[in-house]
Amino acid sequence: MERQEAIERLARDILQSQKTIALTGAGISVESGIPDFRSAGGLWSRYDPNEYAHIDGFRRDPVKIWNMLREIIQVIKSASPNKAHLALAQLERMGYLSSVITQNVDGLHQAAGNHRVIEFHGTNRYLVCLHCGFRDDTENYDTETTVPRCPRCNAVLKPDVVFFGEPIPENAMREAFEEARRAELVMVIGTSAVVFPASSIPSTAREHGAKIVEINLEETPLTGGISDYIIKGRAGEILSDVVAEVRSLVGGEKDVH
């Protein structure tokens, strides 16, 4: 399907859907300067996730893991929402997007203006203590030059993100699958769809009658089976074009907030 044709099709699907949600992954933040994980040059090409992203590795040697975490936090600090994030915020303002379920921990959806964001893999906004449960804002700590320690028990603090081997936050799991079951349209944006259970959100929605549309540079395991169609390209350009098409179909700004 031609790209313009696909953009027009998605705009119509958005207008016809009573409940549209987005599932986003690292690919939506690449245009903000944050590398993804599995593309060429992605984070996992430089750090072995089994060594650096598993909770056992953090418990064993938290100082070593902070060498990677420091890099991610610095990149996120200087990142701002890109056209893709802003397009999703416009769709929410226009009343055409019920929620964003994100696997990202960069907070860029909220920074772009989305209010209903389900952070499926936690957030870099807070640090937590695995020993005594202490929790605080990451910005209260100089993570650039030091390894943050718990002011109560002196243990090394951990970003409030889900490492491999950790459970998905209970509320996020419940809310995400409730949204998936009730969705009529799911836009799957910038995710390789290989990490469970996030990767089962589109199939859950499809089983309940939803249409699944992927926006990605390349095909994923969802393509051609779970997904009804894929719009190949950069999320920023595609989503901006989709919002422009929605506007032209409804005739100008339709803000419900």
Which residues lie near ligand APR (CB under 6 A)?
Answer: 25-27, 30-31, 36-39, 42, 49, 53, 103, 121, 190-192, 195, 215-218, 220, 234-235
- Annotated catalytic residue 121: yes
The single residue listed with the structure tokens 């203006």 is 113
Whether residue 23 contacts residue 186, with contact meaning beta carbons closer than 8 Å, is answered with yes
Closest to ligand APR by CB, 51 or 250: 51
Q: Looking at the chain, list the stretches that DSSP marks H as alpha helix, in order from N- to C-terminal side.
A: 3-16, 49-52, 55-60, 62-77, 83-93, 108-112, 170-182, 201-207, 235-250
Least separation, in Å, of the C-beta of 254 and ligand APR?
26
Closest to ligand APR by CB, 13 or 119: 119
Closest to ligand APR by CB, 14 or 26: 26
Least separation, in Å, of the C-beta of 121 and ligand APR?
5
Whether residue 105 contacts residue 36, with contact meaning beta carbons closer than 8 Å, is answered with no
CA distance linking residue 12 with residue 8, whole number of Å: 6
Whether residue 113 contacts residue 89, with contact meaning beta carbons closer than 8 Å, is answered with yes
Closest to ligand APR by CB, 82 or 150: 82
Phi, psi of 236 (to 5 degrees): -60, -50
CA distance linking residue 133 with residue 52, whole number of Å: 22
Least separation, in Å, of the C-beta of 103 and ligand APR?
4
Sort residue 222 into left (φ over 0), alpha (ψ -120 to 50) or beta. Answer: alpha
Q: Indicate the residue whose CB is closest to ligand APR.
A: 27
CA distance linking residue 79 with residue 93, whole number of Å: 23
Least separation, in Å, of the C-beta of 210 and ligand APR?
19
Whether residue 186 contacts residue 208, with contact meaning beta carbons closer than 8 Å, is answered with no
CA distance linking residue 64 with residue 227, whole number of Å: 39
Least separation, in Å, of the C-beta of 106 and ligand APR?
10
Provide CB contacts within 8 A for 118, sequence distance 6+: 99, 100, 101, 102, 172, 175, 176, 179
Closest to ligand APR by CB, 59 or 232: 232
Least separation, in Å, of the C-beta of 252 and ligand APR?
28
Of the residues 85, 121, 131, 257, which is catalytic? Answer: 121
Closest to ligand APR by CB, 153 or 194: 194
Which residues are catalytically annotated?
A: 121
